[in-house]
Amino acid sequence: MGKMLWALLKRDVSLIVMRRQDGLTVVAFFVIVTTLFPLGVGPELEILREVGPGVVWVAALLASLVSLERLFGDDYRDGTLEQLALLPCPLALVALVKVAAHWVSLGVPLVLLSPLLGYSLGLEGMELVILALSLVLGTPMLSLIGAVGAALTLGLRGGGALMALLILPLYVPVLILGSGGVVEVMYGEAAHAHLSLLGALLALGVPLAPLAVAGALRIVLD
């Protein structure tokens, strides 16, 4: 089973890497949203610094949302998803592997770019470190929550808009904790509580979200 899941992970990562336009679209969206924001609020560094954590986190959230529609969509359209459901391993593990491939291919670049974009908004030192750490803990949660929405709306006409309506409210706690940790450091406080809560959400999401995804996929396939 381990070899089977590892092969599935490599397959999904390879497919995303070969579709370079998908990865470039997500990264470009993340960068453009972040860099356009100063044009709307002005070049004052103090203002940009205060809103910087929220800007980077909202940009990461929206960039993650852009990439979710194809998480299961391509496999559903070409029949691969039905074959994956017949594998001799739980469908929840298959879903978890696909989410992991999505995060490795599209979430990791956002984490790597975040310090540079945060620096452009006036963040510095430990603020950039906490920003990256919060994204390391938070972006997998975005992928897990998004996978539930993608599975629930799979095959529906206009599913992208419905998916956004379903999952955006669920993103709010992750957004508040992620950006709030950076703000705490900005004002001389510790970010341990925010990061711990993000870690707790991730610890709950890893076993529970794939079960919800698997249930939704079985409904679609039946």
Over the stretch 18-27, which tens digit does the pLDDT of each residue have? 777 777 888 8
Per-residue pLDDT tens digits for 79-91: 888 888 888 888 8
Contacts of 41 (CB under 8 A, 6+ apart): 47, 48, 51
72 and 143 Cβ atoms separated by less than 8 Å: no
pTM metric for this prediction: 0.89
Name the pLDDT band for 4 (thresholds 50, 70, 90).
Answer: confident
> Picking from 129-133, 170-174, 217-221, which range would have the lowest pLDDT averaged per residue?
217-221
205 and 144 Cβ atoms separated by less than 8 Å: yes
Q: In the chain, pLDDT over 90 holds for what percent of residues?
A: 35
Question: Given the structure tokens 């800007």, which residue do they identify?
Answer: 55
Domain boundaries, the chain: 2-221
Contacts of 170 (CB under 8 A, 6+ apart): 145, 149
From residue 24, how far is each of 17, 20, 103, 154 by CA, in Å? 10, 6, 14, 24
For the ranges 86-95, 175-184, 186-195, the maximum mean pLDDT occurs at: 175-184
> Picking from 80-89, 129-138, 153-162, 186-195, which range would have the lowest pLDDT averaged per residue?
153-162
pLDDT of residue 198: 94
pLDDT of residue 132: 93
The total of other beta-carbon atoms located within 10 Å of residue 65's CB is 21
Indicate the burial class of 1 (C-beta count within 10 angstroms; 0-12, 13-18, 19 or more): exposed
56 and 117 Cβ atoms separated by less than 8 Å: yes
pLDDT of residue 8: 81
Helix/strand/coil for 70: helix
pLDDT of residue 65: 86
Residue 1 DSSP class:
-
Q: How many residues does the chain have?
A: 222
